[in-house]
Amino acid sequence: MKYDVIIVGAGPGGIFAAYELAKRGGDLKIAVFEEGHALADRKCPIDGDKVKSCIKCKNCSIMSGFGGAGAFSDGKYNITNDFGGTLYEHVGKAKAIELMHYVDDINMAHGGEGTRIYSTAGTQFDKICMQNKLKLLNASVRHLGTDINYIVLENLYNELKEKVDFYFETPVEKIEKNNEKYTVYANGQTYECEKCVISVGRIGSKWMEQVCQELDIPTKSNRVDIGVRVELPAVIFSHLTDELYESKIVYRTEKFEDRVRTFCMNPHGVVVNENTNGIITVNGHSYEDPEKHTENTNFALLVAKHFSEPFKDSNGYGESIARLSNMLGGGVIVQRFGDLVRGRRSNKNRIEEGLVRPTLAATPGDLSLVLPKRILDAIIEMIYALDKIAPGTANDDTLLYGVEVKFYNMEVEVDENLECKHKGLYIIGDGSGVTHSLSHASASGIYVARKILKM
Ligand SMILES: Cc1cc2nc3c(=O)[nH]c(=O)nc-3n(C[C@H](O)[C@H](O)[C@H](O)COP(=O)(O)OP(=O)(O)OC[C@H]3O[C@@H](n4cnc5c(N)ncnc54)[C@H](O)[C@@H]3O)c2cc1C
């Protein structure tokens, strides 16, 4: 089979690359290979009844399939260069923002219209944060919500399937360079293309490493973010979430001058398990539909760990910590903040008697047996700092779920076209290490499509 362009991975990066190529590429022959299922077939077997915890499916429906890791996410599209990736380093700040707005327009035209966009511009919280040694990062955020995000993906797929060949449940095994063309190996077959776009996300990080080794593409990696997910009554953060929806707040600890930040804030949301390569960590999302709202808000508190030579395996370090929580708790551990600062484990009774009803069935335990002291101290300091702008954050009953780990893909060396040293081979989205978010990954897809089309 011969194609003009083959895209590997049908996450936001791959989808938006396919969208722009199909829309503006005339008769281009385009194929998308995806190891996960089609959107309609993505079903996580956990039903809370017969299957209560992760059974480690061959293809995790939460992380892979049409829509990628973002399919069942909260659908928060942050339009900013302040976080979510470093796309601007390759394409320029103004271009990056323009691309993110373009992605937003596409989402609005495919079912997202009517959803709210929030902004930090002119907010009073900028000053309040600064007065309390906290820094509020600038962003506009479109909140699609898990339900509308799904509808947008469904509409995009229905439009794209007319013009693009999708191969689901078809992991690409290998990519070979032959003169100026690429041969893609999948399902025991070979497919040829002029241009190849790799967008395999976080779940494809190990495969991406293999491709880089085989094609001798330089990479670097030295960062992992480790922390907990905080869950508290929504009313404690409502003054912030009502105005900003998601506030990204950064704190520098007094003790070690480490950077701690809030991440992925979900007003009236739920805490969920996440499975990365068989390791269970914690995450969260929320729904746009008010009927699915809970009485709680959750967000992550993450401490960034940068390593220097000779240590290279930052993700391995994060995995080991997550494994420790899985070993002690059989999965995610939950602890009341009051128990943590008193140096005792939480148990079933203490959680049940608390005022915050957990939205995830995690194992009550002791996070101080899992998290390194420096990281734990940073989290505790940050909780007290947040308590000054959102009193009640440091209440005894505030729940902490651990561990939340944000793995970073190694950074693949790509140029200003997001093209690696092999001409015609583009590496985009979270799999490239350049992006870490829906909006940046999607924007990188549009960008390479235009580069391929010489626009
Ligand atoms: C629970 C959860 C909630 C999130 N919430 C948000 C949010 O609200 N806002 C935000 O900005 N970000 C959020 N994120 C992060 C966001 O989903 C990612 O940044 C984004 O999906 C990255 O897009 P991508 O296309 O680069 O990769 P992905 O979405 O990971 O897609 C990559 C795809 O490639 C496929 N693949 C991998 N290897 C191969 C192979 N060898 N052959 C074929 N296919 C392959 C995978 O199956 C996957 O479907 C969330 C993530 C999770 C897990």
Interval between CA 95 and ligand 1 midpoint (Å) = 23
Q: Which of 86, 437, 447 to mutate to test the pocket of ligand 1 (most atoms within 8 A of CB)?
A: 437
**Nearest residue (CA) to ligand 1, atom 5:** 73
The whole-number pLDDT of residue 452 equals 98
pLDDT in tens, 115-150: 999 999 999 999 999 999 999 999 999 999 889 999
User: Helix (H, G, I), strand (E, B), or coil: what is residue 121?
Assistant: coil
Mean pLDDT of 38-65: 86
> Does the structure show a pLDDT above 80 at 221?
no
Do strands 189-198 and 2-8 pair parallel, antiparallel, or not at all (unpaired)? Answer: parallel
Q: Which of 248, 227, 222, 236 is nearest to 378 (CA)?
A: 227
Q: How confident is the model at residue 47 (pLDDT cuts 50, 70, 90)?
A: confident
Residue 406 belongs to what H/E stretch? strand 399-407
Portion of the chain with pLDDT greater than 70, in percent? 100
> What per-residue confidence (pLDDT) applies to 133?
95
pLDDT reported for residue 49: 80
How is 47-79 classified by DSSP, letter by letter?
-SSS--S----SS-TTTSSTTGGGTTS--EEEE
What spacing in Å lies between the alpha carbon of 2 and ligand 1's midpoint? 27
Q: Which pLDDT score is estimated for 277?
A: 73
Residue of 81, 203, 332, 401 best suited for mutating to test ligand 1, as the one with most atoms within 8 Å of CB: 203
Supply the residue whose CA is at minimum distance from atom 4 of ligand 1: 73
Condensed to tens digits (0 to 9), the pLDDT of residues 10-31 reads: 999 999 999 999 999 999 999 9
Q: Report pLDDT for 57.
A: 85
Residue 445 CA to residue 20 CA, distance in Å, equals 8
Q: What's the pLDDT at 409?
A: 85
- Contact yes or no for 370/279 (Cβ under 8 A): no
Q: How confident is the model at residue 168 (pLDDT cuts 50, 70, 90)?
A: very high
| Mean pLDDT (whole number) for 44-51 | 82
Q: Which residues line ligand 1 (CB under 6 A)?
A: 8-14, 33-36, 64-65, 68-70, 73-76, 78, 84, 171-172, 199-204, 207, 264, 274, 283, 285, 429-431, 436-439, 441
pLDDT of residue 192: 97
Mean pLDDT across 165-173: 98
Which helix (H) or strand (E) segment holds residue 363: the answer is: strand 363-364
Residue 308 has pLDDT above 90, yes or no: no
65 Cα–ligand 1 center, Å: 9
**Closest by Cα among 168, 160, 201, 158 to 68:** 201
User: Distance (Å, rounded) from C-alpha 211 to C-alpha 175?
Assistant: 7
| pLDDT at residue 397 in the model | 98
Q: Helix, strand or coil for residue 349?
A: helix
pLDDT value of residue 243? 93
pTM of the model: 0.85
pLDDT at residue 269 greater than cutoff 80: yes
Amino acid 70: pLDDT: 81
372 band by pLDDT with thresholds 50, 70 and 90: very high
Scanning the structure block, which residue is given the tokens 């940050």? 382
Q: Is the pLDDT of residue 222 over 80?
A: no
Nearest alpha-carbon partner for 152 in 451, 447, 438, 427:
438
Nearest C-alpha to atom 2 of ligand 1 is from which residue?
A: 73
- The better pLDDT of the pair 59, 152 is held by 152
* 360/70: higher pLDDT: 360
Q: What is the per-residue pLDDT for 86?
A: 94
Q: What is the pLDDT of residue 278?
A: 81
